[in-house]
Amino acid sequence: MARIDGRNYDAVRKVKLTRSFISKAEGSCLIELGKTRVVCTASVEDKVPVFLRGKGTGWVTAEYGMLPRSTDSRRQRDRLSGRAFEIQRLIGRSLRSTVDMSCLGERTIWIDCDVIEADGGTRTASITGGFIALVDCLNKLKEENKISSIPVSAYLSAISVGIVKRELLLDLNYFEDSRADIDMNVAMNSKGEFVEIQGAAEKNSFSKKLLDNMLDLSKKGIDFLIDEQRKLLRDILLI
């Protein structure tokens, strides 16, 4: 099928990553993926959740929301809907997978992901942009001698993949996502390891072979996005 933006089936949308987009945050990134745009900021709080108090370890967590006119018609401001709660847990879990919490001290790093324009893939864009904000935040803590190094074990990115009209497509925009028979979100690190896979069939079931094909295609897109992250962070993150 011809895609409405002219991409090949295995192409990622045009990506632009703007580091330090919010000057007052300890780390920030504006990620633009096609028409999807998400502002990701990282903030440090000198305390941890109750279940970690006194254990000498830190925490990374996330919040996610969509601005009222990030969509075609005005939407109510998020009041932590079930969807938003599920997405921010995904973002938090994914980012924590790359960080050695024991090196943070009793600090929490909040990653706030605010969608200013939505055209599909907002949760995966939040993970990709949130990682950049997180690393810059950790670098700031290192420069302030609050931690000895940047305790990140691998780069991290995420992307969507799906089946639309029986065709395998990478990085679905909203038009494609809303028509997908199978939709999947994949987070993966630069070691080639999966961090999270979320997928479901809207109608029919699917085979392991098709699943493998979708995961292979998602890896191709994630490798591309990680290369883009490296271009931005190679001055501070040499892994």
Is the per-residue pLDDT at 73 higher than 90?
no
Q: Is the dihedral of CA 66, 78, 19, 24 positive or negative?
A: positive
**Spatial distance between the Cα atoms of 137 and 58, rounded to a whole number of angstroms:** 14
Q: Answer whether residue 61 is part of any domain.
A: yes
Q: What percent of the chain has pLDDT over 90?
A: 87
Q: Residue 59, by phi and psi: left (phi above 0), alpha (psi -120 to 50) or beta?
A: beta
**Spatial distance between the Cα atoms of 81 and 101, rounded to a whole number of angstroms:** 28
Q: Answer whether residue 178 is part of any domain.
A: yes
Q: Name which of 184, 175, 174 is nearest 221 in CA terms.
A: 184
pLDDT tens for 177-192 read 999 999 999 999 999 9
Mean pLDDT in the chain?
A: 95
Q: Answer whether residue 77 is part of any domain.
A: yes
Q: Confidence band (pLDDT; 50, 70, 90) for 72?
A: confident
Q: Which residue is associated with the tokens 């254990």?
A: 55
Q: Name which of 85, 78, 140, 147 is nearest 115 in CA terms.
A: 78
Is the per-residue pLDDT at 97 higher than 70?
yes
Number of domains in the chain: 1
Q: Answer whether residue 71 is part of any domain.
A: yes
pLDDT at residue 70, as a whole number: 87
Q: What percent of the chain has pLDDT over 70?
A: 98
Q: Answer whether residue 2 is part of any domain.
A: no
Range scoring the smallest mean pLDDT among 49-58, 65-74, 93-102: 65-74
Q: What integer is the mean pLDDT of 196-221?
A: 94
pLDDT at residue 87, as a whole number: 94
Q: Answer whether residue 7 is part of any domain.
A: no
**CA–CA distances in Å: residue 235 to residues 100, 113, 199, 232:** 20, 24, 35, 8
Is the per-residue pLDDT at 156 higher than 70?
yes
**Spatial distance between the Cα atoms of 14 and 5, rounded to a whole number of angstroms:** 10
The strand pairing partners of 32, in sequence order, are 16, 37
Alpha helices in the chain, H assignment, sequence order: 82-96, 122-143, 174-177, 208-233
Q: CATH number of the domain that 32 lies in? A: 3.30.230.70
Q: What integer is the mean pLDDT of 153-161?
A: 98
Alpha helices in 33-184, H assignment, sequence order: 82-96, 122-143, 174-177
**Spatial distance between the Cα atoms of 115 and 54, rounded to a whole number of angstroms:** 35
Q: Answer whether residue 4 is part of any domain.
A: no
Q: Answer whether residue 157 is part of any domain.
A: yes
pLDDT at residue 41, as a whole number: 98
Range of the domain at 226: 15-233
Is the per-residue pLDDT at 52 higher than 80?
yes
pLDDT at residue 2, as a whole number: 84
Q: Confidence band (pLDDT; 50, 70, 90) for 160?
A: very high
Q: Name which of 176, 162, 128, 175 is nearest 32 in CA terms.
A: 128
